[in-house]
Chains A and B, each alone.
Chain A
Amino acid sequence: MTAERRVANWLGLGLFALLGVAAVAPLFLIIGDVYIKGIDAINRLGGLWHFLTELPPSPFDEKGGIGPMLVGTLYMTALGALLGVAVGFPLGVYIGEMRREKFTNVARAGVNVLVEFPTITIGLFMYAIMSLAKEDLNEWVMKPLSHVLKAAFGDWVSWFIGPLDGYNAYAGAAALAIIMIPYVALVTASAYASIEQPLREAAYDIGGREFNALFVVLRKAVSRAVITATLLGTAKIAGETAPLLFTAFGNFYYAPFTGPTGAVTLWVWYAAQTPYDVQIASAYGAAAVLLTIILIIFITARIKR
């Protein structure tokens, strides 16, 4: 190599390294900022356990936590992820395997659009649905159901099942599920589409029925991709704010999931813009907790792979 080319090589490599640093710098700055301020805030507001379980601080409190919001986030994320996989996985199998069905292309196109959809429109949609369907839903489903369940299991059921308010955890979970469905479906579809023909034939050969071949034998073959997608999708919806604005609405107290429900993201959004230091601090603490949840899920997904 001539000296000239060597210099050009160094310059080029240096430039790319610089670009690489520029790309990941925000990530580390965000993580650093959130954890430095967040951990400090959690300590000032009463320690980790206190912070994770107590009610949020009013402007004139010295201590407080994010208990109700954390519970709301965990509940809605779990429900949303469950529903997202329950619908997204079969949908993905359909799109990936039934490539000759007429409706497949429509479904595939729809899922591709939905995965990039502005999440606030999904929240708005669920808000409209709840407004329109609430009365009938309560009259015909929720009230009778809660009567039966309360009689069978006791009054604590009303924390979960009962007449719904316009804002409730289930609307939030449904909005999160709508975000998760196309994501899981797309990954599942591409995993199934990449299965080689000999393996597919083996699956039908030993599975007998098509259902067994597709949902048991081949699922085992692609399970890693689907589990990873599920975990990443869960991390994604755990951090969503927009779709919860009109659906869960937010709540500062422990309250039944049938009414307005808090979420960590909503608390960050609310508390960070108040003029009170204690609430701003709790927003940082909440952000650190949220980031921890998401990083744990994310790292689990990476290791699983």
Chain B
Amino acid sequence: MTKVEVKDLRVSFGASPVITGVNLSIPNRSITALMGPSGSGKSTILRVLNRLVELYPEAKVSGEVYLDGQDVFKMDPLELRRRVQMIFQIPNPIPNLSIFENVALGLKLNRLVKSRRELFERVKSALEKAQLWDEVKERLNAPAGKLSGGQQQRLCVARALAFEPEVLLADEPTANLDPENTAKVEALFLELKKDITIVLVTHYPPQAARISDYVAFLYKGQIVEWGPTRDIFTKPKHELTEKYVTGRLY
């Protein structure tokens, strides 16, 4: 079952094209990795999927993106971002806010909860799903900035999960983490994909090999090859793909 369908997507920033015609379908309840060298347009594709690309006024987007068959460009961004949440390369909890408030704020702003009790339950369950609850349950009111980098990233995952999203976009979520925390986040993703669809951007092929079900290899704004992870890594059809997965192209 296809969750997200991208058709002939083209994005340019000012005069320079970044995505030049991408078609992609992302299967439901799986991890799809977008991998490729820096500047290949991976992060840009993610930002189109929940329309954060609109933060950049110089970005011109054409093409179609469907979420469960619905045109995302015609959706209310509020609705879209509730269903398609994102976590980022640099852990970015809101400074000055407590651990609890960081997870709760989005729910409050979007009026997704009716009572304090429900809010607490949603925050708790999000923190549990992000496997952070046990580490922070004693200090929910402590500032989020006091957490370690790995904890901050899992807090951001919890913040996203609090929305109970259908799709989770992850933009190189482990790029700033040590191996131990990387392993934790990867294990977390494998757990999460039972319920939600994950689109993972990575510039580190072994990560895609470890946890993804499908891989799309991007190069210079186009998808060179895409398919089940095993096929891409064991019998790549394209020379560029082979070079990339064997570490000879960056």
B110 within 8 A of A: yes
CA gap between A200 and B92 in the complex, in Å: 9
The interface-forming segment of A53-61, A87-95, A220-228, A239-247 is: A220-228
Q: Are A221 and B109 in contact (CB under 8 A)?
A: no
Q: Are A205 and B97 in contact (CB under 8 A)?
A: no
Contact A198/B109 with A206-B159, A208-B77, A220-B97 known, Cβ cut-off 8 Å: no
Q: State how many angstroms separate the Cβ of B141 from the closest Cβ of chain A.
A: 15
Q: Are A217 and B94 in contact (CB under 8 A)?
A: yes
- Residue in chain A with minimal CB distance to B89: A198
User: Chain B residues with Cβ under 8 A from A199's Cβ?
Assistant: 92, 94-95
Q: Are B78 and A209 in contact (CB under 8 A)?
A: yes
Which one of A196, A203, A208 lies within 8 Å of B110 (CB-CB)?
A208
CA gap between A208 and B78 in the complex, in Å: 4
Q: Are B77 and A198 in contact (CB under 8 A)?
A: no
Q: State how many angstroms separate the Cβ of B91 from the closest Cβ of chain A.
A: 9
- Residue in chain A with minimal CB distance to B162: A206
B52 within 8 A of A: yes
B216 within 8 A of A: no
Q: State how many angstroms separate the Cβ of A104 from the closest Cβ of chain B.
A: 12
Contact A212/B109 with A199-B94, A203-B94 known, Cβ cut-off 8 Å: yes
Q: Are B96 and A221 in contact (CB under 8 A)?
A: yes
Which one of A100, A205, A216, A217 lies within 8 Å of B52 (CB-CB)?
A205
Q: Are B81 and A208 in contact (CB under 8 A)?
A: yes
- Residue in chain A with minimal CB distance to B57: A100
Q: Which of A191-217 contact B (CB under 8 A)?
A: 196, 198-209, 212, 216-217
- Residue in chain A with minimal CB distance to B103: A206
Q: Are A206 and B89 in contact (CB under 8 A)?
A: no
Contact A224/B96 with A205-B81, A209-B78 known, Cβ cut-off 8 Å: yes
Q: State how many angstroms separate the Cβ of A228 from the closest Cβ of chain B.
A: 13
Q: Are A207 and B109 in contact (CB under 8 A)?
A: yes
Q: State how many angstroms separate the Cβ of A4 from the closest Cβ of chain B.
A: 49
- Residue in chain A with minimal CB distance to B82: A208
Q: Are B77 and A202 in contact (CB under 8 A)?
A: no
CA gap between A207 and B102 in the complex, in Å: 12
Which one of A201, A207, A209, A212 lies within 8 Å of B92 (CB-CB)?
A201
Contact A205/B105 with A198-B89, A198-B90, A199-B92 known, Cβ cut-off 8 Å: no
Q: State how many angstroms separate the Cβ of B92 from the closest Cβ of chain A.
A: 4
Q: How many A-B residue contacts, CB cutoff 8 Å?
A: 65
User: How many B residues are at the interface, by size bracket?
Assistant: 20 to 34
User: Chain B residues with Cβ under 8 A from A196's Cβ?
Assistant: 92
CA gap between A207 and B156 in the complex, in Å: 14
Q: Are A201 and B94 in contact (CB under 8 A)?
A: no
Which one of B58, B82, B92, B109 lies within 8 Å of A202 (CB-CB)?
B92
CA gap between A171 and B93 in the complex, in Å: 44
Q: Are B86 and A221 in contact (CB under 8 A)?
A: no
Q: Are A202 and B156 in contact (CB under 8 A)?
A: yes
CA gap between A221 and B96 in the complex, in Å: 6
User: Chain B residues with Cβ under 8 A from A200's Cβ?
Assistant: 55
B50 within 8 A of A: yes
Q: Are A220 and B96 in contact (CB under 8 A)?
A: yes
User: Chain B residues with Cβ under 8 A from A201's Cβ?
Assistant: 47, 52, 55, 86, 88, 92
Q: Which of B54-103 contact A (CB under 8 A)?
A: 55, 57-58, 77-78, 81-82, 85-86, 88-90, 92-97
B106 within 8 A of A: yes
Bitwise interface map of A from 52 to 83 toward B, beta carbon under 8 Å scored 1, else 0: 00000000000000000000000000000000
User: Chain B residues with Cβ under 8 A from A208's Cβ?
Assistant: 77-78, 81-82, 106, 109-110
CA gap between A55 and B93 in the complex, in Å: 54
Q: Are A202 and B88 in contact (CB under 8 A)?
A: yes
Q: State how many angstroms separate the Cβ of A20 from the closest Cβ of chain B.
A: 34
Contact A223/B96 with A201-B88, A208-B77, A208-B110 known, Cβ cut-off 8 Å: yes
Pairs A-B, 4 closest by C-beta atoms: A206-B106, A208-B78, A198-B92, A202-B92
What are 7 contact pairs spanning A and B, CB under 8 A? A201-B47, A204-B81, A205-B85, A205-B160, A206-B81, A216-B105, A220-B97
Residue numbers of B with Cβ under 8 A of A are: 47, 50, 52, 55, 57-58, 77-78, 81-82, 85-86, 88-90, 92-97, 105-106, 109-110, 156, 159-160, 163
Other CB < 8 Å A-B pairs besides A198-B90, A209-B78, 14 of them?
Answer: A100-B57, A198-B88, A201-B86, A202-B93, A204-B52, A206-B105, A206-B109, A206-B163, A207-B109, A216-B105, A217-B94, A217-B109, A220-B105, A221-B94
